[in-house]
């Protein structure tokens, strides 16, 4: 399925957006904005092509089912501007979402979006939802972390916090991308997919910002569940090391909107769309995004 690039601005910062429109002109499923994580731009995550692996592009899969799909490269990543001498933290990423949704609303004439974020992208999406709940109809947070309690990944990452705080960018290479899939539970992703993912990431970036790592290691919590008023889905991979289950359950309990779900995804570690069980993830997300709103609320 063909896509089209779009560009918008945040002040004098240029931001890249990528769109794969609905297979039906009216986009009856709604409009989705996908938000990427700390170590890769948006197209490798959401529009990946892997020979012999059908539906590797989640954007294609949802567009074929009547959704208008968008993603953006946060400032500091991929094709978006990288010129400012900052570390492009999570709050800055939420600012990007404000600029991106301004543009999407103008292009589509829609008033609300379905938003999916993964890892630090989930934090950006949640912070954006706190700031602009009127722009979101449903919010999905995958590999999300609240306080960081019970996270072996963040415990290891904190050992390098002085290094991350000392510079605005950190190098990435093929071995680093492979480590994403080896650190929690080896075997959850196949080698061909990991290699295709690495190829796509490294074609755009050989370094990425440190800001999200600094935030996740030293500034949590960044989101107040009591202020997250939109319908919300929490997705947690069975083997994901970025967030402890107890931490997420406590966050979930404090969400004020009764239209909420918590889903543990079996056989999944981190980077759920690149896992062997990716079609299960699509199904869970599709069910939430296509769920009718309650007729009676009491």
* E strand map for the chain: 4-10, 13-20, 30-35, 67-72, 113-118, 136-142, 169-171, 207-209, 232-237, 260-265
From the list 173, 177, 166, 178, the residue with the least C-alpha distance to 206 is 173
Indicate the pLDDT class of residue 274, thresholds 50, 70 and 90.
very high
Q: Please check whether residue 265 is in contact with residue 280, taking contact to mean a CB–CB distance below 8 angstroms.
A: yes
pTM higher than 0.85: yes
**Mean pLDDT for the stretch of residues 218-242:** 98
Evaluate if residue 220 carries a pLDDT over 90. yes
Q: Which residues pair with 263 in a beta bridge?
A: 235
Domain ranges in the chain are: 4-289
As a whole-number percent, the residues of the chain with pLDDT over 70 amount to 100
Evaluate if residue 200 carries a pLDDT over 80. yes
**pLDDT value at position 169?**
98
- Mean per-residue pLDDT over the chain, rounded: 97
Neighbours of 130 (CB within 10 A): 18
Which residues are CB-neighbours of 208 under 8 A, at least 6 positions away?
38, 39, 40, 76, 77, 169, 170, 172
Q: How far apart are CA 227 and CA 221, in angstroms?
A: 13
4-289 folds as: Rossmann fold (3.40.50)
As a whole-number percent, the residues of the chain with pLDDT over 90 amount to 95
Indicate the pLDDT class of residue 26, thresholds 50, 70 and 90.
confident
Question: Would you call the peptide bond into 202 cis, given omega within 30 degrees of 0 as the criterion?
Answer: no
**Mean pLDDT for the stretch of residues 23-33:** 86
**Mean pLDDT for the stretch of residues 157-183:** 98
Evaluate if residue 286 carries a pLDDT over 80. yes
Which residues are CB-neighbours of 86 under 8 A, at least 6 positions away?
76, 92, 168, 211
From the list 114, 28, 106, the residue with the least C-alpha distance to 71 is 114
Q: 79-112, pLDDT tens digit by residue?
A: 999 999 999 999 999 999 999 999 999 999 999 9
**pLDDT value at position 70?**
98
Question: Locate tokens 């492009």: which residue?
Answer: 88
**pLDDT value at position 241?**
96
Q: 56-70, pLDDT tens digit by residue?
A: 999 999 999 999 999
**pLDDT value at position 101?**
98
Angle ∠(189,191,194) on CA atoms, nearest 5: 70
Question: Would you call the peptide bond into 34 cis, given omega within 30 degrees of 0 as the criterion?
Answer: no
- Two tokens at 200? 């796509």
Number of helices followed by number of strands (H, E) in the chain: 11, 10
């Amino acid at each position: 399925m063909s896509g089209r690039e779009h560009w918008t601005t945040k002040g004098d910062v240029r931001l890249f957006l990528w769109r794969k429109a609905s297979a039906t002109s009216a986009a009856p499923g709604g409009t989705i904005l996908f938000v990427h994580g700390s170590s890769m731009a948006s197209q490798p995550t959401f529009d990946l092509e892997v020979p012999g692996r059908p539906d590797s592009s989640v954007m294609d899969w949802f567009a074929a089912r009547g959704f208008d799909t968008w993603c953006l490269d946060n400032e500091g990543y991929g094709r978006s501007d990288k010129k400012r001498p900052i570390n492009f933290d999570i709050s800055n990423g939420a600012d990007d979402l404000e600029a991106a949704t301004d543009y999407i609303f103008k292009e589509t004439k829609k008033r609300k979006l379905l938003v999916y974020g993964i890892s630090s992208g989930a934090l950006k999406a949640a912070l954006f939802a706190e700031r602009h709940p009127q722009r979101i109809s449903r919010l999905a947070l995958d590999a999300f972390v609240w306080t960081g309690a019970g996270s072996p990944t963040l415990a290891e990452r904190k050992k390098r916090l002085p290094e991350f705080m000392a510079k605005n960018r950190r190098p990435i290479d093929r071995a680093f991308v492979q480590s994403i899939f080896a650190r929690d539970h080896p075997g959850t992703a196949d080698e061909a997919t990991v290699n295709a993912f690495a190829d796509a990431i490294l074609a755009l970036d050989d370094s990425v910002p440190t800001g999200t790592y600094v935030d996740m290691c030293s500034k949590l919590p960044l989101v107040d569940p009591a202020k997250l008023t939109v319908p919300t889905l929490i997705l947690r991979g069975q083997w994901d090391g970025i967030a402890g289950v107890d931490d997420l359950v406590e966050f979930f309990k404090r969400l004020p909107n009764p239209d909420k779900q918590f889903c543990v995804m079996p056989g999944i570690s981190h980077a759920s769309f690149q896992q062997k069980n990716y079609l299960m993830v699509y199904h869970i997300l599709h069910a939430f995004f296509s769920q009718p709103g309650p007729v009676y609320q009491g």
